[in-house]
Structure 1
Amino acid sequence: MKLPVPFIQLPLQFDAGVLAQEIAVFGEQHWHEHPQKYPGNLWLPLIAVDGSPDNDSFAGAMRPTPYLLQCPYLMQVLSRIGAVWGRTRLMKLTGQAEVSPHFDVNYYWRARARVHIPIVTKPTVRFICGEGEVNMGPGECWIFDTWRTHHVINGSDDERIHLVADTVGSDEFGELVRDGRMPGNHMPEGWHAEPVVPTAERHPALRYESVNLPVVMTPWELREHISFLMREVRPHAQLEPAQQVTSRFLAAWQALWSEYGTDPAGLPAYRKALGTYEQWLKNSAPSLQLVNGSSLLVALRLMVLSVAIGDSSGNRDGGELRQATTVAMSKPGDGRSVRDPIFDRPVFIISPPRSGSTLLFETLMKAPNLFTIGRESHALIEGARGLSADDRGYESNRLDATAATPELIEELRHRFLAELRDRDGSAPERRPLRMLEKTPKNALRIPFLARIFPEAQFIYLHRDPRQTLSSMIEAWQSGRFRTYPNLPGWEGLPWSLLLVPGWRDLKGLPLQEIVAAQWNTTMRILLDDLNALPAERCHIARYDALLENPAAEVGRLCAALGLDWDRSLDGVLPLARYTVTAPATDKWRRHSDLIRQVLPGLQDTLDRAERFVAR
């Protein structure tokens, strides 16, 4: 729901200690992974369709799950707020996890407020929404503007648990909102949060959604949603043609409604009207964006087009529209040359960790008509079934071609395509598209990626190994790059950066030797894998050249990769997001004694890397 401010605190204060005691009975086996497999994001269903804990849908009669019925004070909390409740959950963030930045344009959240009540939390948990940021205290009651970009960072090693409840509201709920306070504004005189103490009541009466998606969207609801989106469009020359097309569509829908209403006989005509409208907009206004960064077309699909009719061809969960992306792979010796219809020569930056790949990625992602997911793909890849370190017995992050089963190929291509955005935040409208990806673990996954993306191009980013080793040591010491803080069988500093084959043999070694083995194993694997590819699919970038003359190095790479470039790169490049300390050619000398101890044992790999770069 769009609000006039990022956050509103409602005037209620609940007993977080009692709530924590109630939910403590639910062990880890009761918690579900996030549907998009984001690391450290878990949920436990309290109100769901038909009261089923395994039904994550938005569509259907919402009822209490057995979990909620075991928690009388939780029910009292929801009863006191007095709203009509939709999907409601406990949401957990494990230590150091985060909810990545996003905004909600789905139909379900267009008219629903999202209530947050912290149950287990720390002052280090940051909730950021648009230009606002708060720490929601234990037992407080908040709503926020889901239309703005928002994300949550758990800066503690302890887990954070919130009660998160979606509601269309009620008169009583509206009164609470009107009496709420807005952080950053003047505190209303006499404002206080009413304490809500537990009572002996076991199952207080609650109000639940029974109707939440239309059979056929009425012309009045359709007009309201589309008018809202049109008001949110950034100024653009294409806006007027889009408004004209929209007026024609709304008039056509009104006529169909008058003729058919919700009669199933009208569904073919409704479907045709939706398809024609979408095609009109694709032709007349493909570049329109909303103020929150969403493409107008994407928002229309999620908020209107996917839910406007309730037949089986629609997406009844109001979720993201998906498109089949199966690729016909050519087989050795079959004489066929098959172009990938979706991913045209996707580009993967490959290097050991801490080699400057984020700087190169954040520079190249500004190329026009190039799409990225905007971050590293750890969660996207490892969230697929069977690919997490846990699923693979913590052997390593290595994935070879045999791991790329047809099912995984389909799933991962779906996952990437769904999240791709260009430099302006717009989703791709045409196929095939150019994609850029960078994740350090991918240095151990080159054959796997080449199987999934048959036209993949790889950039090997070469950096002075002394600088890389020094930066890896800093990463371990900083605690900011802990990938497996509870790695089974590991002792010492929590495991950081990528998990290499043979890591168990490193237990008990000094940090410089652990880091040297990480680098050495990664380099040997990536060099073997790159050498096995056709030479035209491998490209070289040099970190020192990127720093010294960004325009020349980026121009050379774009020419080799067939990418356009239209921006000036004069001067010094900005620091990358994961920088620990500012780059400097001699920065490694702060760890020079440690690095000189391990360099002799790396000489063979150092020589191989130099020969590969020189080729």
Structure 2
Amino acid sequence: MNESKSKWKFTVENADGMIQRPIVIIGAPRSGTTILQRCLAVHPELWHLRAESHYVLEGPYHPRKLGRKSNRCTREDTDEETVESVRERFYEEAMNVSKVLSNPGWLFGTSSLVGRAFSAAAVLSLGNCSKITKPDEFRFLEKTPKNSLRVSLLDRLFPDALFIWNQRHPAKNIDSLVAGWHTSDKIGPIGLPRFARASYPVAEELNLKDYSDKWWKFALVPEWETLQSKTIGEVAAWQYYQCNRYTLKDFQDIDDERIFELNHESFVQNPLSSVRDISEWADLPKSQVVEHFARALPQVNDTKGETRDEETGLRYPEGVQRGMRSVPELSDLTSRMGYGDISVYP
């Protein structure tokens, strides 16, 4: 873990104001980025979007618009005019519910369908009210799992950005991805796709063995077209590998002081210590609201209904094991991430 305190003071100027040293949470889908983001989002000095940044970045950087077939995007895939436009959009969309509520933690601690819908509506309404008093300069928090494939791009958008790399054990992360692929929200007899926000209708092209819906879920990773006739476990393992591989690749061009590596398992075990370390590293003042949320650490964005295997604690142990075996490069990558034993079965 990188515990050195950042000394970066450069700010990115927009037409109407400045976003100072934004904190960008990077992590593969289902790695635990949501609970970390919500922990930090209640900080009174951190502004954020109403949701993930799909509605900002999918416009100029949609794969089809770039002539690409994945969400992979680098600093070379944009121009200065677009960069300025996107920066302005982030500034305009930024909100801070803490400016309206002294303790907005209860808005960020729900997982049910009704709770998520209410929370989204409340955050949007209160967040819009907070924009009335938006300062010219502020700190900003961003979290979108697709950004694990866009670190280079984010570094161009915000050259002073601080990056938190949220890592999770591959077996548990892949298991959660598989569960997400198979999860839908239900309103009575009606099933609604979940985890398909800002997704693409390409999954049916692959003739996957255990998934028939057209919607590709989570990040559209490079070389997804090679997964013909695979299982969701194999798809999920490839997503996990590609997201973390490209994150690590892009981080090679970023100063170590701007990167904080966070182990999700350690965070869940001691969230209070983790948020204190992050606050010190990111030059954020201590916040009682953040620490109160961390102590409670509600379960968010979870999936329900699956039975867990008693031996492994996973919902789809065989599928996860098959998926991990299909990506032999995974072992070297996860070793770099600090996970020595990545076997599914103890």
Give the match for residue 321 of structure 2: 596
Amino acid aligned to 2:200: Y
Q: Does 1:463 align with 2:172?
A: no
| Cα contact 1:404–1:451 (8 A) shared by 2 | no
After TM superposition, give the deviation of residue 550 of structure 1 in Å. Answer: 1.6
Q: Does 1:439 align with 2:144?
A: yes
What pairs with 1:115-134 in structure 2 (closer than 5 Å)? none
1:579 aligned to which of 276, 295, 302: 302
What pairs with 1:505-516 in structure 2 (closer than 5 Å)? 505-516=226-237
Q: Does 1:389 align with 2:63?
A: yes
Residue aligned with 2:315, SS: helix
| Cα contact 1:527–1:609 (8 A) shared by 2 | no
Paired with 1:555 and 1:421, the residues of 2 have a C-alpha distance of 23
1:487–1:602 Cα change, 3 Å: closer
Paired with 1:339 and 1:454, the residues of 2 have a C-alpha distance of 8
Q: Does 1:485 align with 2:201?
A: yes
What pairs with 1:92-103 in structure 2 (closer than 5 Å)? none
What pairs with 1:254-403 in structure 2 (closer than 5 Å)? 339-341=11-13, 342-384=18-60, 387-393=61-67, 395-403=69-77
1:613–1:431 Cα change, 3 Å: farther
Deviations 1:476-509 (A, max 9, x none): 1114123223568444443111111111111221
| Cα contact 2:241–2:330 (8 A) shared by 1 | yes
What pairs with 1:105-254 in structure 2 (closer than 5 Å)? none
Paired with 1:423 and 1:610, the residues of 2 have a C-alpha distance of 39
2:78 aligned to which of 404, 407, 432: 404
Residue aligned with 2:19, SS: coil
TM-score calculated relative to the size of structure 2 = 0.73
Amino acid aligned to 2:303: V
After TM superposition, give the deviation of residue 345 of structure 1 in Å. Answer: 1.1
1:516–1:338 Cα change, 3 Å: closer
Deviations 1:511-569 (A, max 9, x none): 21111111111121111111221111110112112222221111111111111232233
| Cα contact 2:31–2:264 (8 A) shared by 1 | yes
Give the match for residue 265 of structure 2: 544
TM-score calculated relative to the size of structure 1 = 0.42
Residue aligned with 1:536, SS: helix
| Cα contact 1:467–1:585 (8 A) shared by 2 | no
Residue aligned with 2:314, SS: helix
Residue aligned with 1:345, SS: strand
| Cα contact 2:23–2:162 (8 A) shared by 1 | yes
Give the match for residue 111 of structure 2: none
Residue aligned with 1:344, SS: strand
Deviations 1:105-126 (A, max 9, x none): xxxxxxxxxxxxxxxxxxxxxx
Q: Does 1:530 align with 2:256?
A: no
1:472–1:409 Cα change, 3 Å: same
Deviations 1:388-422 (A, max 9, x none): 23323451011111123111111111111111111
Higher relative contact order (CA 8 A, sep 6+): 2
Identical-residue share of aligned pairs (%): 28
Give the match for residue 14 of structure 1: none
Paired with 2:203 and 2:330, the residues of 1 have a C-alpha distance of 28
Segments of structure 2 that go 5 or more residues without pairing to the other structure are 1-8, 99-126, 184-192, 340-346
Give the match for residue 474 of structure 1: 179
| Cα contact 1:343–1:435 (8 A) shared by 2 | yes
After TM superposition, give the deviation of residue 610 of structure 1 in Å. Answer: 3.7
Greater strand share, structure number = 1
Amino acid aligned to 1:500: V
Residue aligned with 2:70, SS: coil
Give the match for residue 120 of structure 2: none
After TM superposition, give the deviation of residue 338 of structure 1 in Å. Answer: 5.7
1:378–1:339 Cα change, 3 Å: closer
Amino acid aligned to 1:597: R
| Cα contact 1:446–1:530 (8 A) shared by 2 | yes
| Cα contact 1:466–1:595 (8 A) shared by 2 | yes
After TM superposition, give the deviation of residue 602 of structure 1 in Å. Answer: 4.0
After TM superposition, give the deviation of residue 358 of structure 1 in Å. Answer: 0.6
Paired with 1:459 and 1:508, the residues of 2 have a C-alpha distance of 35
After TM superposition, give the deviation of residue 603 of structure 1 in Å. Answer: 5.3
After TM superposition, give the deviation of residue 579 of structure 1 in Å. Answer: 2.0
Paired with 1:338 and 1:348, the residues of 2 have a C-alpha distance of 16
| Higher Cα radius of gyration | 1
CA-atom RMSD, angstroms? 2.6
After TM superposition, give the deviation of residue 380 of structure 1 in Å. Answer: 1.1
Amino acid aligned to 1:496: K
| Cα contact 1:343–1:433 (8 A) shared by 2 | yes
Amino acid aligned to 1:454: P
Give the match for residue 327 of structure 1: none
Give the match for residue 605 of structure 1: 330
Give the match for residue 557 of structure 1: 278
After TM superposition, give the deviation of residue 601 of structure 1 in Å. Answer: 4.5
Q: When the two structures are aligned, how many residues end up with a matched partner?
A: 275
Paired with 1:373 and 1:542, the residues of 2 have a C-alpha distance of 24
Residue aligned with 1:540, SS: strand
- Higher mean alpha-carbon deviation, 390-399 vs 344-353, is at 390-399
Paired with 2:280 and 2:219, the residues of 1 have a C-alpha distance of 31
After TM superposition, give the deviation of residue 446 of structure 1 in Å. Answer: 0.4
Deviations 1:13-42 (A, max 9, x none): xxxxxxxxxxxxxxxxxxxxxxxxxxxxxx
